Structure 1
Amino acid sequence: MTATLEPTPAAAPMAAARPARTAPAPTPFRRVLHVELRKMFDTRSGFWLMASIVIASVVATTLTVLLGDRDSLTFESFASAVGSPMSVVLPMIGVLAVTSEWSQRTALTTFTLVPSRPRVLAAKLLDVLAVGAVAMLVALGVGALGNIVASAITGNDAVWDIAASTFAQIVLANELGMLVGVVLGLLFRNSPAAIVGYFVFALVLPGLSSALAVAQDWWADNGGWFDLNQTRFLLFDSTLTGEEWAQLGVASLAWVVLPMLLGLRLVLRSEVK
């Protein structure tokens, strides 16, 4: 009996090639802005730091009404009182907006979800500047309310002696302080070190600069080109001359722009763990 060969079944067709996977679309920058802004408020420390802006403004205004010379109170009196705590609180917001990624160990998650570190850092920077501007508007409103209350208590007419240009200079001075905080956060990426660094910048260096100005006439005449605090403080009190604006620009380049570029380079090249 002869064996017959049965025809072998046709080879199964090759599995259809899988369609090429498309790269996911990048996270919209507006969403990154929103998320980074929420992160500034979501933690307990962040919430109370933001709340301290309003609390400090109310306390400063109340003390001005209660303890100030009521016959000479003006809008500038309240603006000066509110501006003092703002000059301390706002730079801390700039510091913590950057260092929180490392102190709270969220940097790995953040840069995994949004691999483009420049976009994240740009969002943080814009959020910091926006918070600073809104905070100054809140402080302005609280100061204006205090001026009205003081006028009602004393029976004197309210004096509104701060021009829009002067207020813009005050906002610029505080924004520069916040940018210094951001710079220190980028350089150190450690909250305590960056905060100490800011207080050295804001409290120690002005004293050293003043002592140097007493000892050296050259520094007394030209220190404004190198000392950011010296020209930044002028923004609170007076209208700057053309030379003083130039000094502010040069000092900002030395203390804000160049260190920020260095800090950005360090963050972009650092290993996130």
Structure 2
Amino acid sequence: MTTATPTRAAGATRTGGTLSPVSFATLTLVEWRKQLDTRAGRWIVAVIAIVTAGVLAVMMAVGGGDHSFSAFVVGTTMPMAMLLPIVGVLAATSEWSQRTALVTFTLEPRRTRVGLAKVVGAIGSGVALLVVTVGLAALAHVLVVAFRDATPAWDATGALVGGLAITTVLYMAQGVGFGLLLRSTPGAIVTLFLAPTLFNLLGGLVPGMVDVLPWVDLTTAAMPLTGLTWPDGAGWAHLATSTLIWVVAPLVGGLWRTARSEISSS
């Protein structure tokens, strides 16, 4: 008579427990922490804080500080929006700049999942910084009203804050997309800032490009989002097409390249 030998259940560890995959929330938290784990990431956040404080100081000093709340919000968030994509680039290129890609994708072989976690983490950072910036703008307006006799003007609308939030999300996703696609921090940053500049120069030099520019340039298409009202139908159409070109295409290409390319330790 033979006896059956018990076999270990699939997914069980030697201690009898089961192995569970890393949750997307945990993966996103890890990718979010990577944004501040490097000196470059900390320096970018520090520069954003310094620039924001400088803009607020100038606005509080010029014209007796008599600016509306919406003016403070736009004045502080626009420089932040210009620098935020760098945070997205650093989040996307960390595996290759720090040479940790092999470790990361060994612990989590689903590479597209890692890329999406980078997108969500970067967007979360952008939205958090936007909330802080709007709060600082509100504080600055309170101070100029209280100490500089400025006229109270709490005129910021939901459309303005929502438009700035959409702009922040698009720019952060764009930074991650360029970072995943190029895998080079300097190359992604240069391309991210040089390409829109060339488009704007082309629009100024070629008369026929003036009407085309809102359809193909994200910066031009996003400008109506900084107003107190929502863009019209044409404005949303401009934003949609430019987003497909400058955000969706690099992001899809970057995720595809991450999932398909060979990963090495060097």
| TM tier, smaller | 0.7 to 0.9
Determine which of 144, 149, 168 is the counterpart of 1:174.
168
- 1:187 paired residue among 181, 186, 196: 181
Select the residue among 44, 50, 61 that pairs with 1:55. 50
| Aligned: 1:22 with 2:17 | no
For structure 1, the 5+ residue unaligned runs are 1-12
Which of residues 216, 223, 233 is equivalent to 1:242?
233
* Secondary structure of 1:19's aligned partner: coil
Q: Distance in 2 between matches of 1:86 and 1:204?
A: 21
Q: Which residue of 2 aligns with 1:200?
A: 194
Q: Report the Cα offset of residue 210 of structure 1.
A: 2.8
Aligned length: 256
Letter in structure 1 aligned against 2:87: I
CA distance in 2, matches of 1:36, 1:54: 22
Identify which of 215, 223, 244 aligns with 1:225: 215
Cα distance in 2, alignment partners of residues 270 and 183 from structure 1: 16
2-structure distance, mates of 1:61, 1:85 = 11
Q: Which amino acid aligns with 2:50?
A: I
Q: Distance in 2 between matches of 1:64 and 1:179?
A: 30
Q: Give 1:182 deviation, angstroms.
A: 1.3
Deviations 1:113-132 (A, max 9, x none): 11111111111111111111
Of 259, 264, 272 in structure 1, the residue corresponding to residue 255 of structure 2 is 264
2:67/2:150 contact within 8 Å kept: no
- Structure 1 vs Structure 2 CA RMSD: 2.1
For residues 228 and 58 of structure 1, the distance between their equivalents in structure 2, rounded to whole angstroms, comes to: 26
Structure 2 residue aligned with 1:143: 137
Distance in 1 (alpha carbons) for counterparts of 2:194 and 2:214: 18
CA 201–175 in structure 1, closer or farther in 2 if over 3 Å, else same: farther
Q: Give the TM-score normalised by structure 2.
A: 0.88
CA contact 1:75–1:160 (8 Å) conserved in 2: yes
Asked if 1 retains the 8 angstrom alpha-carbon contact of 2:93 and 2:179, the reply is yes
Alpha-carbon distance in structure 2 between the residues aligned to 1:88 and 1:244: 20
* Mapped partners of 1:224, 1:53: distance in 2: 27
SS in 1 for 2:253: helix
2:60 corresponds to 1:65:
yes
Counterpart check, 1:156 vs 2:150: yes
The one-character-per-residue Cα deviations of 1:193-215 (angstroms, maximum 9, x if unpaired) are 00001111343322222322xx2
Following the alignment from structure 2 to structure 1, what is the Cα–Cα distance between the partners of residues 176 and 203? 23
| Equivalent residues of 1:224, 1:231 under 8 A apart | yes
Q: Does the CA contact (< 8 Å) of 2:65 and 2:144 recur in 1?
A: no
1:97 corresponds to which of 91, 102, 107: 91
Q: Does 1:39 find its partner at 2:34?
A: yes
Native 8 Å contact 2:60 2:66 kept in 1: no
Aligned 8 A contact 2:160 2:226 in 1: yes
Q: Deviations over 1:237-271 (max 9, x none)?
A: 36311111112112211222123212211111111
Contact (CA 8 Å) 1:187, 1:263: kept in 2 or not? yes
User: How far apart, CA to CA, are the structure 1 residues paired with 2:146 and 2:137?
Assistant: 14
1:252 corresponds to which residue? 243
Distance 1:178 1:18 in 2: 49
Aligned runs of 1:125-144 on 2, under 5 Å?
A: 125-144=119-138
- In the alignment, the residues of structure 2 paired with residue 257 and residue 72 of structure 1 have an alpha-carbon distance, to the nearest angstrom, of 40
Higher mean C-alpha deviation, range 118-127 or range 220-229:
220-229
Contact 2:64 2:150 in 1 (8 A): no
